[in-house]
Amino acid sequence: GDSVTQMEGPVTLSEEAFLTINCTYTATGYPSLFWYVQYPGEGLQLLLKATKADDKGSNKGFEATYRKETTSFHLEKGSVQVSDSAVYFCALFDDYKLSFGAGTTVTVRA
């Protein structure tokens, strides 16, 4: 079935560093792709989404581009802050449900 694979963490960065979290997917069709973020002790929040090839989702300085040729949806941010410390999940929507990657824990140090 359809699935996503994201880079393992944890990832530790200094403030203002560049962040990339890799995500690749396997799907028979062209699913919608999402990034969710989970701050400590909270539920998951939608960070951004893309519904078709070459779409770029963006929010709060984060970006991800839906690349059909490489089946990827990598998350990037040019200058992270301590408040970006969280767990990030890549997800794929197929027919009726979201399938999630295992999550990547990001810690940003001041």
- Residues at the interface with another protein (CB under 8 A): 32, 34, 42-46, 49, 51, 89, 93, 96-103
Distances (CA, A) of 78 to 17, 41, 49: 7, 26, 18
Place of tokens 């396997």: 26
Nearer to another protein, 33 or 80 (CB): 33
List CB contacts of 79: < 8 A, sequence separation 6 or more. Answer: 15, 16, 17, 18, 61
Residue with smaller CB distance to another protein, 53 or 102 = 102
Beta bridge partners of 79: none
Residue recorded with tokens 């792709």: 33
CB of 101 to another protein, least distance (A): 6
* Closer residue to another protein, CB minimum distance, 25 or 34: 34
Cβ nearer to another protein, comparing 19 with 92: 92
Shortest spacing between CB 32 and another protein, in angstroms: 5
Strands 86-94 and 75-77, sheet pairing: unpaired
